[in-house]
Amino acid sequence: MTDTKLYIKNMVCDRCKRVVAEELNKLGYQVQRITLGEADLYVPAGKELDLEEIREVMAENGFSLMDDRKTQLIEQVKVAIIELVHRQGESDLHINTSDYIAEKVGLDYNYLSSLFSSFEGITIERFLILQRIERVKELLVYNELSLKEIAYELGYSSVAHLSNQFKKITGFTPSHFKEIKEDKRKTIDKVQE
């Protein structure tokens, strides 16, 4: 009987947590706690922890195990940003993002920023912008909020700021995007590609 913590890449939503928990349970492990990017397992007596089996099942579902501490930190930064941007109905994007990330990960922001850039090839700020734009796309497709409401919810200083950034990233104005919305969105884990 042992407890094990797994760090799992590409867990970006509640559905991901459910899939990971179900797959680990099928393998005979008891999931004690699951959060985005992490799973705490209880390995029952008589069962051996088989990381290769877990790695294979995770890969079949679009996830991967992370063994390296730096990779784990980068994933924690991504998860913190995704949680911040994709929260429904909460306007936390008006807070200082660097402070938020440092607090969530528990390390100095400058260190995290340097590490993130060296591993991912983009800055944390760029990753945040790409996530925000993807969230704007989602809200535009839903067509429930005005552009002004979207700008406020996502922490933009103005509609003009949102529109300029949206056009710079997507090549479309928000209104044009609404007209041609098919096949222009990305899944959260593919946003930086």
Q: Which domains does the chain have, with CATH numbers?
A: 2-67 (3.30.70.100), 70-190 (1.10.10.60)
Using alpha carbons, list the distances in angstroms from residue 166 to 120, 125, 158.
22, 15, 12
Inter-residue contact 73 to 115 (CB < 8 Å): yes
Question: What pLDDT, on a 0 to 100 scale, did the predictor assign at position 141?
Answer: 87
Inter-residue contact 158 to 135 (CB < 8 Å): no
Number of neighbouring beta carbons within 10 Å of residue 121: 9
Its pTM stands at 0.75
Whose structure tokens read 């042992």? Answer: 2
Question: What pLDDT, on a 0 to 100 scale, did the predictor assign at position 109?
Answer: 96
In the chain, which residues have pLDDT < 50?
Answer: none
Question: What pLDDT, on a 0 to 100 scale, did the predictor assign at position 160?
Answer: 96
For 52-63, the pLDDT digits (tens) are 999 999 999 999
Question: What pLDDT, on a 0 to 100 scale, did the predictor assign at position 150?
Answer: 92
